[in-house]
């Protein structure tokens, strides 16, 4: 599989923002004063997200979390597109095209290149003779791109009058507007009542500003004999979310070194306020003590998550604290208890 435009240690920030803590905190009016630890956390996160394309300035805002807790959150609005790597390609155009001409897909827990051969063999891959996504005379693949491609991409049930056996290609330029996303990230994670939570509404935000999404609805997409490929970084686009990741590739996107020798790199923050790290530590192994939500406690880093392998279509299975919000309205406030966020999962283990 080919490499993205930039390595994990490089970045190409479209905007560098240096936080002004006093100005940001003065605009918020929470019921309880922020602690010094929360102010320090805000400063840390603001610096980490300088490689994202930030709209306005991050701030400390009051928020209501998924189980009703009142908290202080970092509010940050970003353009829903990566600031440090290219997007696409997605659909190849002919069954003779190579991996350079197409994206990727998840099959049986693995990442597969969507090249011409993959499209030509869909019936065999899925053991279903109804798959036939190309013209048998020319080898041209049936692709829906431009505006209609984005419409279908936003509708995985394909209730748009389009035929089956199409490859859906939605690029940022076809949406016709700049999509932004506003996140409220708790500055102090708040324990839950122990119930495992759903991550289908989103997991968090990567350091380059890309939403870290829950599982893609593969069964819905494949059930309509359509294909909405990801690019080589595990992301694709729809009109409401913009560009977002369904799988984390360790050679794509901004990273920050962990404050622990040999530990996996930090790639973002979850909606419950805990940090997201790559799947593997620097020796290539996955930590052995991860809990049901793929989190664990380590000295020097506290509790944090390690993401799952990209091909599993499950970056994290759940979150362990009450969540903040992921919103499409930059002017909205956050009340995750009424649908602005998602419920959370079991508390961290103490071992």
Count the Cβ atoms, other than its own, within 10 Å of residue 57.
Answer: 16
Q: Note the pLDDT of residue 284.
A: 96
pLDDT value, residue 62: 97
Chain mean position to CA 349: 25
Strand 166-168 relative to strand 295-298, pairing: unpaired
Task: Confirm whether 115 is domain-assigned.
Answer: yes
Whether the per-residue pLDDT at 15 is higher than 70: the answer is no
* pLDDT score, position 13: 37
pLDDT at 31: 52
Q: Does residue 335 lie in a domain region?
A: no
pLDDT of residue 24: 37
94-146 pLDDT tens trace: 999 999 999 999 999 999 999 999 999 999 999 999 999 999 999 999 999 98
Any domain includes 156: yes
| Tens digits of residue pLDDT in 299-328 | 999 999 999 999 999 999 999 999 999 999
pLDDT for 54 beyond 60: yes
* C-alpha to C-alpha distance for 84 and 89, rounded to whole angstroms: 16
Distance of alpha carbon 276 from alpha carbon 201, whole angstroms = 17
Give every CB contact of residue 21 below 8 A, 6+ residues apart in sequence.
39, 42, 43, 46
Q: Residue 1 falls within a domain, yes or no?
A: no
Q: Which residues contact 126 (CB under 8 A, 6 or more apart)?
A: 222
Number of domains in the chain: 1
260-278 tens-digit pLDDT: 999 999 999 999 999 999 9
Q: Report yes or no on 238 lying in a domain.
A: yes
Peptide bond into 89 cis (omega under 30): yes
Q: What is the pLDDT of residues 69-81, one digit of tens each?
A: 999 999 999 999 9
Question: Do the domain assignments include residue 40?
Answer: no
Q: Is the pLDDT of residue 228 over 90?
A: yes
- In this structure, is residue 51 part of a structural domain? no
Average pLDDT of the segment spanning 182-208: 89
Q: Return the HEC string of the chain.
A: CCCCCCCCCCCCCCCCCCCCHHHHHHCCCCCCCCCHHHHHHHHHHHHHHHHCCECCCCEEEEEECCCCCEEEEEEEEEECCCCCCCCCCCCCCECCCCHHHCCEEEECCEEEECCHHHHHCHHHHCCCCCCCCECCCCCEECEECHHHHHHHHCCCCCCCCCCCCEEECCCHHHHCCCCEEEEEEECCCCECCCCCCCCCCCCEEECCCCEECCCCCHHHHHHCCEECCECCCCEEEECCCEEEECCCCCCCCCCECCCCCCCCCEEEEECCCCEEECCCCCCCCCCCCCCCCCEEEECCCEEEEECCCHHHCCCCCCCCECCCEEECCCCCCCEHHHCCCCCCCCCCCCC
Task: Count the neighbouring beta carbons within 10 Å of the beta carbon of residue 79.
Answer: 21
Residue whose tokens read 């791109």: 145
Q: Which domain holds residue 104?
A: 99-176+218-244
Q: What's the mean per-residue pLDDT of the chain?
A: 87
pLDDT of res. 339? 64
Give the pLDDT score at 196. 63
* pLDDT attached to residue 306: 98
Q: 43 lies in a domain?
A: no
Share of the chain above pLDDT 70, in %: 86
pLDDT of residue 10: 35
pLDDT value for 197: 60
């Amino acid at each position: 599989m080919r490499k993205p435009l930039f390595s994990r240690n490089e970045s190409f920030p479209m905007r560098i923002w240096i936080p002004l803590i006093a100005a940001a905190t003065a605009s918020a009016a929470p019921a309880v004063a922020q602690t010094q630890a929360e102010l320090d956390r805000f400063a840390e996160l603001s610096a980490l997200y300088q490689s994202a394309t930030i709209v306005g300035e991050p701030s400390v805002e009051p928020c209501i979390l998924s189980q009703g807790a009142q908290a202080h959150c970092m509010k940050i609005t970003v353009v829903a597109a990566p600031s440090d790597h290219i997007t696409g390609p997605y659909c190849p155009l002919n069954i003779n095209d190579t991996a350079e001409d197409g994206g990727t897909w998840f099959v049986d827990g693995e990442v597969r290149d969507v090249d011409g051969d993959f499209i030509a063999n869909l019936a065999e891959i899925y053991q279903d003779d109804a798959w036939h996504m190309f013209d048998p005379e020319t080898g041209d693949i049936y692709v829906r791109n431009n505006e209609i491609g984005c419409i279908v991409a936003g509708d995985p049930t394909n209730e748009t009058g389009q035929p089956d056996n199409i490859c859906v290609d939605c690029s940022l330029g076809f949406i016709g507007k700049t999509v932004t996303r506003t996140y409220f990230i708790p500055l102090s994670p708040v324990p839950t009542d122990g119930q495992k939570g759903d991550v289908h509404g989103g997991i968090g935000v990567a350091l380059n500003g890309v939403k870290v999404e829950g599982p893609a609805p593969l069964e819905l997409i494949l059930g309509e004999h359509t294909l909405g490929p990801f690019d080589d970084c595990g992301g694709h686009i729809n009109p409401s979310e913009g560009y977002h990741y369904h799988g984390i590739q360790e050679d794509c996107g901004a990273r920050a070194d962990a404050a622990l020798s040999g530990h996996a790199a930090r790639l973002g923050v979850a909606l419950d306020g805990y940090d997201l790290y790559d799947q593997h530590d620097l020796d290539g192994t996955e930590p052995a003590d991860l809990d049901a939500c793929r989190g664990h406690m380590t000295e020097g880093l506290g509790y944090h998550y390690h993401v799952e392998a990209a091909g599993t279509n499950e970056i994290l299975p759940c979150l362990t604290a009450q969540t903040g919000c992921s919103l499409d309205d930059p002017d909205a406030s956050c009340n995750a208890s009424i649908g602005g966020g998602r419920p959370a999962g079991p508390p961290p283990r103490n071992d």
